[in-house]
Chains A and B, each alone.
Chain A
C-alpha cells in the first residue's frame, strides 16, 4: 500500500540550530515529492518539490530536501532555523501522477 511516514511528530530546536525533518515513502515506479508548510490558522503552502532532474531541491527561504531513491526518503533540512520557521511541515508524495498522499506532519517549534 502507498504510504508516507513522518516519524517525528514534533521537533523542538533552538534558533540558529540546524534541523532535519524526516520523510520516508513506500516505493513506486513513479513518484513526485513535495514538502508543504502550514503556519498557524493558515492553509498549506508549497515549500519545495521534486519532479525530476537534480535530486537536491531548494526553497527560497533556505530549506532544502534531497530525493534518495534507494532509501525512499525525502528529508527536509535547514542549516540555521529562525523563529519564523515555527510551523507544521507535511511531506507529500504523488504516486503515478494521480494519488497525492500526505504524511502525518511534523510540528517544528523554534525557541529563542
Chain B
C-alpha cells in the first residue's frame, strides 16, 4: 500500500530535550516536505527536499533541522524544543508537479 508513515503519532516532551520525528514514504517520490498545522493558520511549510541531499527552508524553519540521506526518509529534528513548537506536524511526499500525499500526523506537546 502506498503510504507516508510518521512516528510517533503523539509525543510529549520537555523544553530543551532533543527529539526526532521520522517520516518514510514507499512511493519513490523525490519531493518531501514537513508542515506544521496550527489553529487559524492552516499548514505552514517548515522544510522541503527536492531530492537526496537537497533540502531547503520553507516558511517557518526556525528551530528545526532536517536531513535527506535516503530517498524514502526525511526526519524532522528539534534540537532544543520550546513550547511554541507545540503543534500538529505533517510529513508529505509527491512527484514534482503532482498532488502531495500526507502522513497521519504527529501531535507534539512541549512543556
Q: A residues touching B (Cβ–Cβ < 8 Å)?
A: 6, 9, 32, 34, 36, 42-46, 49, 51, 90, 92, 94, 97-105
A103, B35: Cα distance in complex, Å: 13
Using a Cβ–Cβ cut-off of 8 Å, how many residues does chain B contribute to the interface with A? 22
A4 shortest CB reach to chain B, Å: 8
Top-7 shortest CB links A-B:
A104-B42, A97-B97, A102-B43, A44-B102, A43-B104, A43-B102, A102-B42
Find out whether the CB atom of A104 lies under 8 angstroms from the CB atom of B45.
no
Question: Within 8 Å of chain A (Cβ to Cβ): is B47?
Answer: no
A43, B23: Cα distance in complex, Å: 14
Find out whether the CB atom of B42 lies under 8 angstroms from the CB atom of A32.
no
With A46-B101, A97-B96, A102-B43 already in contact, 8 other A-B pairs whose C-beta atoms are closer than 8 Å: A34-B99, A43-B103, A46-B99, A97-B97, A99-B45, A100-B45, A100-B94, A102-B44
* B101 contact set on A, CB distance < 8 A: 46
* B90 contact set on A, CB distance < 8 A: 43-44
* CB-CB contacts below 8 Å: B28-87 with A: 33, 35, 40-45, 50
